[in-house]
Amino acid sequence: MPNQPIPVTQANAMIKTYTTYMQNLGVDMQKQTQSVSFKLPELMAWLSKMTELADEIRICMGDYPAGHPQAGRTTVILWPYKNGKPAKYPAEGTRPKAGLTGDGGKGGDCGDDGDDDGDGRDVDPYNDGQLYP
């Protein structure tokens, strides 16, 4: 069932299966991102803000673009969604709660709903975690 904890043994088996799959493709897993870590206080503060704007968080895979200090590295993006679409701040004329800001932006398949109807700015996704290795 989704949306529940899984046993450590299952998590470890899933990670091993992924690592083996990538190695079979010829990927050097000592140079490939295997996990992304977020500091709990900062992540929880952001998630608390999202409870007013979103009803789900999608964890999207991404790759840092050329020119970024982490260019070529895989990462994850935590993307807030509401009613099956990327979450938006309240429409113009309504005031968002303190601490909620955003500059919009689209994120491709994970994030870009193609719905630019002006009913509020897109809520910025969360990233900037520590990559391992």
Residue 2 sits in which domain range?
1-32
In this structure, the answer to whether residues 18 and 72 fall within a common structural domain is no
Query: Whole-model pTM?
Result: 0.77
DSSP of 34-63, one letter per residue?
A: -EEE--HHHHHHHHHHHTTT-SEEEEEEEE
Number of domains in the chain: 2
Q: How many CB atoms lie within 10 A of CB 122?
A: 23
In this structure, the answer to whether residues 28 and 70 fall within a common structural domain is no
For residue 91, what pLDDT band results from cuts at 50, 70 and 90?
Answer: confident
In this structure, the answer to whether residues 27 and 41 fall within a common structural domain is no
* Residue-wise pLDDT tens digits, 3-59: 899 999 999 999 999 999 999 999 999 988 999 999 999 999 999 999 999 999 999
In this structure, the answer to whether residues 39 and 17 fall within a common structural domain is no
Q: State the pairing for strand pair 130-132/85-86.
A: unpaired
In this structure, the answer to whether residues 59 and 123 fall within a common structural domain is yes
Residue 126 confidence (pLDDT): 96
- pLDDT of 102 over the 80 cut: no
In this structure, the answer to whether residues 64 and 103 fall within a common structural domain is yes
